[in-house]
Every structure is written in structure tokens, then in C-alpha cells.
Amino acid sequence: MRVTQSMLSNNMLRNLSNSYNKMGKVQNQIETGKKVTRPSDDPVVAMKGIGYRTALDKVEQFQRNIGEVNNWLDSSDDAFDKVGSALQRANELAVKAANGTTTVDDQEKIKSELDQLRQHIQNIANTKVGDKYIFSGTKTTTAPFDTSANPPAYVELNDAAGNPINQGFIKDVEIEVFDGINLKVNTNAIDVFKNIDQMFQDIKDGTVEFSEAIGKIDKQMNDILTTRADIGARQNRVELMDDRLQSQEVIATKQMSENEDVDMEKAITEMITQESIHRAALSVGARIIQPSLVDFLR
């Protein structure tokens, strides 16, 4: 087979082009820190990268959900803390009124303060997180204590015949915090608030004496503590889920890094090697392209 000058020149140019492409690829890896910049560079790495990124995005979304769960639970716990403080003050007033030394006028003043405490708890029942009522079950746009009613009252869960109505007020609001794991974020406390409100009404009407009211207030305070214990238990679980999500985030990030990030030392070494090969190719090419007759005729 006869090898011509044009064949040598074409082969040299093709090899130089390939050498440039290899150097460009390694240079791009060093500049971006990634093994691939397009799926065609390595389809397997690209497909795995999509999977790892999807997993990481899901973890980040669950972490945002955890923040929303904490917002609901913290607000609920704070609300019941304020209710407990109000009941504690009501207990002090009841004890004071029941000791037999207070006058009728003093008892009326105490009833007036108890009425203010009652209104304070009614306001707490309408606590909102953002634009959602947290004690209204799934009916988050409707306040559990209807101030527009005449007279203002809590929403009824049963009609006059005892048939269930407004059952959305006692349904659970759940937020997904992991694949297939939903946590209840609301507290079904409308009955608790209604019982407290009825107790204050009985004291106001005089159907319950102050001495008897002390025991009733104490019972309502125990109910509040039970409710707060349930909230606390869920807060502890949220912390466990948050720790799990943080671990999953580290794992997903590590897997994605191992899959996509370039080994910088290896890439730099390869770049130096490619540069040496390219320089050698240029040197050999200069020797291959010999002067032609045209060069002598200039």
C-alpha cells in the first residue's frame, strides 16, 4: 500500500483534533468539578445522578414539611400553655371567693375577672398559623369559636337530634414527613374548649358554687396537661424524624458527589499527560509535513 503525503497529513490532523477534544474534556471536568456536563458524556452516571438528585429534592421537601409541622405543634403547645395560665388564675380567684371572707360585691368583681379569662380562652381557641385555624380540624378556614353568632359560641358538632354535623372540626390534619409517613399536626381540642367555656358559664350563672368550681377548674387543668402531653409526644417524634432526614440528606449528598464529582488529582494528572501527548504529536507532525516542490519554487 502506497502511503502518500496527503494521507500522513490527514492522519496527523485527525489525531491532533482528537487530542484537542480529549484535552478539552479533561479541562472542562477540572473547571466544573463534574465528571459529565451532558448525558452523552456518560449515560450511566447521568441516569444515576438524576436518581440521586430526585432523592435529595424529596429530602429537602420533607425537611420543609417538618418545619411546617413544628410550626403547628409549637403554636398549639404555646396556646395551651396560655390556657393553663388562665385556668391557674381562675383557680386562684375561685379559692379566694370560696374562703368565706369575701363579700357579695367582691364575688361579683371576681366573676367579672373570670369572664375576662373566659374571653381570653375563647380568643386562644381561634389561634391561627398563617391563615389557618389550628383547632378547627380540616376546616382550617373556619374559626372554632364563632364570634358572629348570636350569642357567640363554639361550633356545634351535633344537631338538636344528636346527629353528627361539622365533623371536619374533629378530623386530623396530616403532613407527610417521609415516604409513606404522615404526622398529625393539629389538636382536636374543640371539646376541651367547650367544656372550659361551659364551666365559666356555670360559675357566672351561679349553678356552680365557688367551692365546687375549684374541683372543676382542677379537672380542666388536668385535661390541658393531658393535651399538652400528647403534643409533646408528637414533638419528640418530629425531632426523631428530623434527625433521620438530616442523615438521609448527608447520605444522598455523598452518593451524588461520588457519582458526579471528578477526582481532581486524577483529572489534573490526565490533563498533564494529554498535554505531553499533544506536544509530542505536534512535534512529530512538524517532521511529517516535509517541504514540497511548491515551497522551493516560491
Whole-angstrom Cα distance, residue 136 to residue 47? Answer: 45
List, in sequence order, every beta strand (DSSP E) within the chain.
Answer: 128-129, 132-133, 145-146, 153-154, 174-178, 181-184
pLDDT tens for each residue of the chain, 298 residues long: 666 667 767 777 777 777 777 777 778 778 778 877 777 777 888 888 888 889 999 999 999 999 999 999 999 999 999 999 999 999 999 999 988 788 889 999 999 999 999 999 999 999 999 999 999 999 999 999 999 988 999 999 988 888 899 899 999 999 999 989 999 999 999 999 999 999 999 999 989 899 999 999 999 999 999 999 999 999 999 999 999 999 999 998 898 888 887 878 787 887 888 888 778 777 777 766 665 555 555 5
Q: How far is residue 35 CA from its own chain's centroid? A: 32
Sequence spans of domains, the chain: 46-256, 264-298
| Contact between residue 295 and residue 15 where contact means Cβ atoms under 8 Å apart | no
- What are the Cα distances from residue 158, in Å, to 149, 169, 257? 17, 11, 58
Q: Tell me the fold of 46-256.
A: f41 fragment of flagellin, N-terminal domain (1.20.1330)
> Which alpha helices (H) appear in 154-209, and where do they start and end?
190-205
Q: Which residues pair with 182 in a beta bridge?
A: 176
- What are the Cα distances from residue 3, in Å, to 6, 17, 287? 8, 21, 16
Residue 156 DSSP class? P
Q: Grid coordinates standing for 142?
A: 373556619
pTM of the model: 0.79
